[in-house]
Amino acid sequence: MNYDIEKYKSDVRKLLSDYRYVHSMNVGDSAKMLAEKYGADEEKAYVAGILHDIMKEMPKNEMLEYITSRTDLSAVELVSPKVWHQIASAFYVRENILDDEDIFNAIRYHTTARANMGLLEKIIYVADFISAERDYPDVDVMRQKAQINLDDAIIYALSFTINQLENARKPIHEDTLNAYKFLIMDR
Ligand code: DGI
Ligand code: FE
Ligand code: FE
């Protein structure tokens, strides 16, 4: 595939703040690195990485309208605005930038994860956690795990996210719980 990477970057640049633009480019770099390591298409991973959060800064009321006109939301999704951008970004990319099923799914599940993820989905999920600007307390552990075993890194990230949501007394998305169960059973 020949991807028009400079155009995708300018599309992202127009829709995101400086901080999130830098994050997006860093996720692209991390995704490319993981693709090389785990034998995925490096360019495709880079493209999915730079595009993954493209709708993150759309106003929440518009985002809800945008996604509910395209898909049904679960009860947890309706009360979890932070997961809306994975749906909005996936549809936006498919309709306006490029139509590729792997890239669609990698963006579509990059926040919640899901059971039985494909390699590109796994790569984008992990790349988002280890991007260069991330500085949460366990980021070094996460980066180290990402170098050793992709599924172990995902389990660690899922456990971290589930714990954070529990501590904040927030609902946990069904796909997040199913991703955790699937990978634990699959080991
Ligand atoms: O978009 P980013 O900030 O780069 O990262 P992200 O897409 O992983 O979004 C992280 C946010 O999403 C974080 O504030 C926690 C929230 N989140 C992740 N998984 C779940 C979730 N929120 C709910 N309610 N349920 C989930 O399973
Ligand atoms: Fe995101
Ligand atoms: Fe992100």
Find the DSSP H helices in the chain.
5-15, 18-38, 42-51, 60-68, 75-78, 84-96, 101-108, 119-130, 139-148, 150-167, 174-186
- How many structural domains does the chain have? 1
Compute the distance between CA of residue 128 and CA of residue 85 in angstroms, rounded to an integer. Answer: 14
8-37: per-residue pLDDT in tens? 999 999 999 999 999 999 999 999 999 999
Question: How far is residue 38 from each of residues 32, 109, 125, 130, measured CA to CA in Å?
Answer: 10, 19, 14, 15
- Indicate if ligand 1 lies below 6 Å from the C-beta of 112: yes
39-93: per-residue pLDDT in tens? 999 999 999 999 999 999 999 999 999 999 999 999 999 999 999 999 999 999 9
Question: What spacing in Å lies between the alpha carbon of 54 and ligand 3's midpoint?
Answer: 9
The CATH number covering residue 42 comes to: 1.10.3210.10
Atom nearest to 76 CA in ligand 1: 24
Residue 69: give the domain boundaries. Answer: 5-185
pLDDT > 90? residue 186: no
**pTM exceeding 0.85:** yes
Atom nearest to 162 CA in ligand 1: 27
* Nearest listed ligand to the Cα of residue 89: 2
Q: How confident is the model at residue 1 (pLDDT cuts 50, 70, 90)?
A: confident
Sign of CA dihedral 187, 40, 55, 87: negative
